[in-house]
Structures are given as C-alpha cells and as structure tokens.
C-alpha cells in the first residue's frame, strides 16, 4: 500500500467502524464467492463514504499480500451511466491477484456470476497528477478483457453499493502493449466467445474518446488522495455490454488496430 492509498477517503460521515464493518461484509462475499443483499446502510450515503468502504475492502486484499497494479474506470458508456442515473464514471482499484495472463485461464472457483467485457488498457509511464497530458504519461496501449463479478445478488446495486464493491472488479487480462496510435477513437471492438461475435461496439463508447478515461482517472483518484503510478495499468472502460462467462469457453476481445487478447475459462469450478 502506498502512503497515498493509506490516506484515502476516510473523512466520512459514517465513521471508521461502520466503514470497516461494511468492508468486511463485501470482502467476505468476494472471498467466499457468496452473493450478498444490497447494503441498505449505504442508501443515500455520500459518494466519499462509498469510496472509503472500497478503500477498506482493497486494504484487506493488500493485508493478505496483494499489490496495487492500477485502476479501472467503470460506467464509462452513456448506456451504463443512464442506467445508473449518473453523468460521470466511477473508478476502482486493481491488484496483482486480479491479473490474468493473456492466453491464460480464468479460474471460476469462488466466482459468483462472472461476466467479461472488452476494454482498452493504458500503461502509465510516469506518476501522474491532475492536469498532466495523456500523451506525456501514457506510454502504451493494449486490448484488454475485464472480468467483473458483482458481490450483490442478481448484479443489482445502487451507485454507492457498486463503488463500495470496488466497481465489481474481479480480474483483467491485457494483450500486447504497443505505442499509442494517432487515433484510438472509433476503433471497432468485438467480444467473441468460442470464435463467434457476441458483442460489438467501438472505442467511442468509452467516454466518447478512451483518452478521456485517463483525465477522469487522474482527477477522481486525486479526490481520494491517490495518484496513478509509473508502471500501473489503467482500464479505460468497456466498449460493449458485458457477457456472462461460461465454463470451458474461450473469450476474446478484438480491437481494430490494437489487436486481440483471449482467455480460456476454466472448464469446471
């Protein structure tokens, strides 16, 4: 854990004990692969409280020896924002335990109702602060797959619920890094299962331009006292809806110009 992260978001109205209690409920759900009901305690809670719970959830992972590897943006498409009644994206934290090697296998043990979505990933070349330009900080781009697995029954949650649940983060796979091409907006994106397209979209679905995800990530993380670090990954957001993941299948994300990344889903959990 960095000093930045240790200091995130704990100036809340709910108090540290309540934040810790909710974080334990969410962490237990993820650890046991058992869905929970929505957290009524977070109904109408300030967003800062939800991020404080998220920080405490991830702190439990770090306490078990995991390491922060980056950030992810969520609710980056107009469709998802409308669905959740928000006009700005949300963000979560990635750890090394969530990393799935490209062409690797996604374990299903302990998952609740996993889904995958095709994304664009950025590699952070140097520590970033608000106001930094994308081109000065991001040194590579890659196609990516995100595994999301809400800890809430039925994938039903309020905005504070999903923020507290680390924005459903469960795993990610990154394809081959390459220099950022001049145009990365409007690239076609396909999500395939066993070679058949199941979702199609374009990178324009990611905040209109995926590079905006970098600006938003730097700004929103700074609100919680956190900085993007050199070497970290930033998942910019989904270009299509997520698809439920089924045992024994191969899932592949293809992004025009950037290439593809695929994973095998464990045959049986």
Which residues contact Mg ion by CB under 5 A?
146, 238
Cβ proximity to ligand 0L1, 116 vs 258, nearer residue: 116
The two structure tokens encoding residue 258: 């950037």
Q: State the Cα angle at 61 between 88 and 158, rounded to 5°.
A: 35
**Contact in structure between 26 and 151 (CB atoms under 8 Å):** yes
Burial zone of 113 (CB within 10 Å; 0-12 exposed, 13-18 middle, 19+ buried): middle
Q: Which residue is nearest to Mg ion (CB)?
A: 146
Cβ proximity to ligand 0L1, 14 vs 168, nearer residue: 168
CB of 15 to ligand 0L1, least distance (A): 26
Cβ proximity to ligand 0L1, 169 vs 184, nearer residue: 169
CB of 131 to ligand 0L1, least distance (A): 25
Cβ proximity to ligand 0L1, 57 vs 148, nearer residue: 148
Residues forming the site for ligand 0L1 (CB under 6 A): 74-75, 146, 148, 150, 162, 167-168, 237-238
The greatest distance separating any two alpha carbons of the chain, rounded to the nearest whole angstrom, comes to 49
CB of 212 to Mg ion, least distance (A): 15
CB of 193 to ligand 0L1, least distance (A): 18
The CA radius of gyration of the chain, in Å to the nearest whole number, is: 17
Query: Of Mg ion, ligand 0L1, none, which one does residue 168 interact with (CB within 5 to 8 Å by kind)?
Result: ligand 0L1
Dist. CA 177–CA 154, nearest whole Å: 35
Dist. CA 71–CA 89, nearest whole Å: 13
Helix axes 47-63 and 16-32, enclosed angle (nearest 10): 60
Dist. CA 206–CA 185, nearest whole Å: 9
Query: Of Mg ion, ligand 0L1, none, which one does residue 239 interact with (CB within 5 to 8 Å by kind)?
Result: none
CB of 88 to Mg ion, least distance (A): 15
Q: Which residue is nearest to ligand 0L1 (CB)?
A: 74
């Amino acid at each position: 854990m960095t000093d930045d992260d240790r200091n995130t978001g704990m100036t809340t109205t709910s108090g540290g004990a309540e934040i810790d209690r909710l974080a334990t409920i969410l962490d237990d759900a993820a650890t046991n692969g058992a869905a929970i009901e929505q957290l009524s305690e977070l109904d109408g809670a300030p967003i800062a409280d939800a991020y404080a719970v998220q920080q405490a959830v991830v702190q439990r992972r770090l306490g078990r020896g995991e390491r922060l590897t980056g950030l992810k943006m969520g609710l980056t498409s107009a469709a998802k924002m409308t669905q959740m009644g928000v006009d700005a994206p949300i963000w979560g934290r990635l750890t090394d335990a969530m990393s799935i090697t490209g062409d690797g296998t996604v374990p299903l043990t302990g998952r609740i109702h996993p889904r995958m979505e095709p994304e664009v990933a950025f590699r952070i070349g140097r520590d970033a602060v608000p106001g930094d330009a994308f081109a000065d900080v991001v040194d590579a781009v890659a196609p990516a797959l995100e595994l999301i697995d809400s800890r809430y029954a039925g994938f039903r949650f309020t905005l504070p619920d999903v923020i507290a649940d680390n924005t459903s983060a469960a795993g990610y796979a990154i394809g081959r890094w390459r220099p950022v091409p001049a145009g990365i907006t409007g690239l076609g994106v396909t999500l395939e299962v066993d070679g058949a397209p199941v979702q199609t979209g374009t990178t324009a679905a990611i905040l209109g331009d995926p590079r905006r995800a970098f600006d938003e990530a730097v700004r929103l993380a700074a609100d919680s006292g956190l900085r993007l670090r050199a070497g970290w990954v930033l998942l910019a957001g989904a270009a299509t809806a997520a698809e439920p993941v089924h045992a024994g299948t191969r899932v592949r994300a293809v992004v025009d110009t950037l290439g593809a990344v695929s994973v095998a889903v464990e045959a049986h959990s």
